[in-house]
Amino acid sequence: MMYPFMTLNDETEIVHSDMNADGTVKVYIETPDAEDGFHNLTCYLPSYKITENNGYTDEEVEKFMEIIKSTAHLIMEFSKEGGFENASGF
């Protein structure tokens, strides 16, 4: 299951998975693009290993990784609770 985490001003969506049995969490980033349809990136926490990058520049990847690193503690916690809505009690 993937859970919404954050939507940026440019319509980039950041979502995350449940925590896997090995303690990893998949983070998926997707941005609409008029030319390509979508750009996307997949990384795994807690290692921050990027396993897929389709269409993002090095600068964009760096920006997204800064966001992920600064919020990883929240993503990891929410991944244990079934996403933000379940963790926050909404």
- pLDDT beyond 70 at 84: no
Backbone phi and psi for residue 36, each to the nearest 5 degrees, phi listed first: -100, -10
**Residue 2 · residue 23 · CB < 8 Å:** no
Give the pLDDT of residue 8: 97
Residue 81 has pLDDT above 90, yes or no: no
Structural domain spans, the chain: 2-85
- Determine the average pLDDT of the residues in 82-89: 64
Measured in residues, the chain has a length of: 90
d(CA 10, CA 21): 33
pLDDT tens for each residue of 11-66: 999 999 999 999 999 999 999 999 989 999 999 999 999 999 999 999 999 999 99
pTM: 0.89
Whether residue 83 is predicted with pLDDT greater than 80 in this model: the reply is no
